[in-house]
Amino acid sequence: MDLQTLTYIIVGATFALYIGIAIWSKAGSTKEFYVAGGGVPPVMNGMATAADWMSAASFISLAGIVSFVGFDGSVYLMGWTGGYVLLATCMVPYLRKFGKYTVPDFIGERYYSQAARTVAVICAIFICFTYIAGQMRGVGVVFSRFLEVEVDTGVYIGMAVVFFYAVLGGMKGITYTQVAQYCVMIFAFMVPAIFISVMMTGHIFPQLGFGSQVLDAAGNPSGTYLLEKLDGLSTQLGFNQYTEGSKSMIDVFAITAALMVGTAGLPHVIVRFFTVPKVKDARSSAGWTLVFIAIMYTTIPAVAAFSRVNMIETINGPESTGVAYETAPQWIKNWEKTGLITWDDKNGDGKMFYANGEQNEMKIDRDIMVLATPEIADLPAWVIALVAAGGMAAALSTSAGLLLVISTSVSHDLLKKNLMPNISDKKELMYARIAAAVGVIVAGYFGINPPGFVAAVVALAFGLAASSLFPAIIMGIFSRTMNKEGAIAGMVTGLAFTSGYIVYFKFMNPELNNAANWLFGISPEGIGFIGMIVNFAVALVVSRMTTKIPDDVIEMVEGIRFPKGAGGAQDH
């Protein structure tokens, strides 16, 4: 059976599974739509949270970044995993004890202010739309290659699938769909990783293969370690050593910190812990999520290294003199059709050559690396099709979670809790579905007109979360003196500063986007850390200059900080 047919069968089967789950778990109330009825078991919630959190950036783009930039890509690994630990230990049990439906709900109640709630809604929607742009870009990349359709058509298909199960099932449908998507995603990521590890190093565990010797033609250890070989290839072709970074220490620190605190401020991840029955279950599901995330994240560096070696050797040949285009591997020509790989024969010798600088003849999109890896390694067609299904699962699972946050922020926090307090449960559910539908359309637009490659766009979303919602949540839990004026001023200032910095360097003046022009030498990907500091500073100063918080709010904060009860999600 050819690759095209296998891809249609495997991807089609996973889509049918997701839609079937959505029909089975259709939400009948706002509680089911927002928090899946608050009855999801911890292990299943751990899987769903892992799928929600490990987006197209993790599955498709992260290994591509590490593959191309080497050591510098480790900031994403450290930041995203460290951020989840911060979220699990400092925030999950306290927010679950509070027992509301959304992050703006917490901020609105904690800061006793509709204005604070509205600002939090704006921040959440801003973050989610920035984040979802990366997911829809991932959907387009997968479809353009494996279903051989235009990127735009692929985005439309992805929109239709997400629309169906997000709008119909809400959190209940999304949760059980994400459990299935995690299984598809992790199987699709690990199978080719294990195949290639065995082929290149003889180790069944990619994590061990990453630190092992590569095999020679006879299948014996060659005496050269994988990373040693990569360093040699990189320097030979004019790149920096793979195991040495080029970023400044301050930028590495700022990006890692921004990703960490940004993770802890992501509304679509936080809301997942409102779906379990008890505070104890929230802690437990956080632990399970970390286990499920670690399986992929400890494998990503190995996949990146394997892919880099295979890519260079298949393009440049074993002697690094280039390969004639007519006899080039089929994977290059397959990806050329998508426009994500291009060849410019600069010296007219008819050979492809990949290097750094003027002699480079190949332009390769970073986002294709994981998807192309099975083809580069000449793995069976069913493995290639499986990876396509995994890429779709990664992009769709996170897209659904983000759409739900947009939906609930509009229907629950903006309408029910602010503009239209007397609407019925049925009307609120209707508005939630309408908001999700509008969100799908806007997300599709970003997928067709992406602002950058997946992981970079997602990193910017984390920076926005770090500078806006994270400080307000942390101070809301641990500070007995932070008032509404301080929280609002902090969120507005942090979001404005960070988004302004990003827009200036990424869109208005991209030619100035270099270390010489950055504030303190910190890139747009890391500026969320400075934005967070600005948020904290402004909030603390303003709170000291304005009125004290009411006594009943102080009691509520004390109750949140000692999460001993069940803290069931409250009806409204």
Pick from 255, 308, 257, 296: which is nearest to 66 by CA? 308
As a whole number of angstroms, the distance between CA 270 and CA 128 comes to 13
The pLDDT value given to residue 539: 94
Q: Which residue has the tokens 């004026």?
A: 485
**pLDDT, tens only, 231-246:** 888 888 888 888 887 8
* C-alpha distances out from residue 28 to 23, 290, 324, 424, 428, Å: 12, 31, 61, 13, 12
Residues 265-303 pLDDT 10s: 777 777 777 777 777 777 788 888 888 988 988 999 999
> Distance between CA 38 and CA 28 in Å, rounded?
14
> pLDDT at position 36, please?
52
Query: Which backbone phi and psi does 479 adopt, to 5 degrees?
Result: -110, 130
The whole-number pLDDT of residue 171 equals 64
Residue 166: what pLDDT?
Answer: 63
Q: Report which secondary-structure segment, H or E, holds 225.
A: strand 221-225
For the chain, list the domains and their CATH numbers: 3-218+238-306+379-561 (1.20.1730.10), 221-237+307-376 (no CATH)
- CA pair distance 393, 385, nearest whole angstrom: 13
Q: Which residues of the chain have pLDDT under 70?
A: 22, 25-39, 57, 99-101, 133-134, 137, 145-147, 165-173, 450-459, 561-572
The Cα 401–Cα 124 span in angstroms is 12
Q: Is 131 helix (H, G, I), strand (E, B) or coil?
A: helix
Please tell me the predicted confidence (pLDDT) of residue 568.
45
In single-letter form, the type of residue at position 109 comes to E
CA–CA–CA angle 572, 281, 183 (5° rounding):
105
In this prediction the pTM is: 0.79
Predicted pLDDT of residue 157: 79
Give tens-digit pLDDT for 88-108.
777 777 777 776 667 788 888
